[in-house]
Amino acid sequence: MKAAVISFPGSNCDEDLVWALNTVCGQDVDLVPASATALDGYDLVLLPGGFSYGDYLRSGAIAKFAPIMPAVRRFAAAGGYVIGICNGFQILTEAGLLPGALQANTSLKFICEPEPLTVANAATAFSSAYSDGQSLTLPIAHGEGNYYADAATLAALEANHQVVFRYAANPNGSLNDIAGIVNARGNVLGMMPHPERAVEALLGGTDGLGVFQSLIDATKGAADAKRA
């Protein structure tokens, strides 16, 4: 697998993702600046956490206009796997690649703590290494992680099993305890918790490894299907 981690001005989790995928998981990873305009040759694209463009206007509202984003849209439209974590999730919703929006936490405070989650759908390219109903603990670090969607969108997400992760003790007010969702096609995931911060025991736990192992398996399967 060859992965591209997009680095926006203000990203601060890009190197964490490179470490998780390259050093821990042994995959080929490039750090791609947001000023780039192509994503040829990659199997996976990751949008990291942080504060892209200083979170001016709204989190992700400026990043959606970055030069790299048309390439991200083309990559997703072609069926490529895309994951946005924290600020990356906010960018994906702002860019229209995922439905809904991330609002300010109901506490109006920045929350940084380990958070218990439940795997709501293990039948995705991002969660197949887990089992349905499995309990995980992943760190969160956000001020705008309160997931919102209108009633029709929320009903569609539930009916189509697009909710992948839920909070066990909702820390931010997200509707339906949503911590992560996929698009209808199942190749784009947005999640607020940080799996890249839970890939080594030294960091406090390894519950995040399943996200990356799932993607490694999915991209290998896609590559094998192309060769068949």
Distance CA 132, CA 122 (A): 5
| Enclosing H/E stretch for 87 | helix 87-94
Beta-carbon count within 10 A of 175 CB:
17
Q: What is the pLDDT of residue 228?
A: 54
Tokens 């750090």 identify what position? 31
Query: Hey, what are 105's tokens?
Result: 């936490």
Q: What is the pLDDT of residues 58-111, one digit of tens each?
A: 999 999 999 999 999 999 999 999 999 999 999 999 999 999 999 999 999 999
With pLDDT > 90 as the criterion, what percentage of the chain qualifies? 95
Does the structure show a pLDDT above 70 at 219?
yes
Percent helix, strand, coil in the chain, to 5, is 30, 25, 40
Q: What is the pLDDT of residues 134-181, one digit of tens each?
A: 999 999 999 999 999 999 999 999 999 999 999 999 999 999 999 999
Q: What is the pLDDT of residue 188?
A: 98
Distance CA 190, CA 93 (A): 8
Q: Which of 86, 94, 115, 144 is catalytic?
A: 86
To the query of whether residue 196 is one of the catalytic residues in this protein, the response is: yes
Contact 11, 88 (CB under 8 A): no
Q: Which of 113, 158, 194, 200 is catalytic?
A: 194
Beta-carbon count within 10 A of 132 CB:
11
Handedness of CA 33, 38, 41, 46 (dihedral sign): positive
Total domains, the chain: 1
pTM of the entire predicted model: 0.96
Q: What is the pLDDT of residue 220?
A: 86
Distance CA 191, CA 180 (A): 4
Domain of residue 162 covers 2-227
Q: What is the pLDDT of residues 105-139, one digit of tens each?
A: 999 999 999 999 999 999 999 999 999 999 999 99
Q: What is the pLDDT of residue 221?
A: 73
> Domain with 66 in it: what CATH number?
3.40.50.880
If you average pLDDT over residues 198-221, what whole number do you get?
95
Strand partners, 113: 140
Query: Hey, what are 170's tokens?
Result: 């909702």
Q: What is the pLDDT of residue 226?
A: 61
Q: Which of 94, 115, 144, 196 is catalytic?
A: 196
Does the structure show a pLDDT above 70 at 225?
no
Count of residues for the chain? Answer: 228
If you average pLDDT over residues 173-201, what whole number do you get?
98
Q: Is 107 left (phi over 0), alpha (psi -120 to 50) or beta?
A: alpha
Half-sphere exposure of 182 (CA within 13 A, CB side): 25
Does the structure show a pLDDT above 70 at 199?
yes
Q: Is 145 left (phi over 0), alpha (psi -120 to 50) or beta?
A: alpha
Q: What is the pLDDT of residue 224?
A: 65
Q: What is the pLDDT of residue 223?
A: 66
Distance CA 26, CA 209 (A): 12
Give residue 160's Cα distance to chain centre.
19
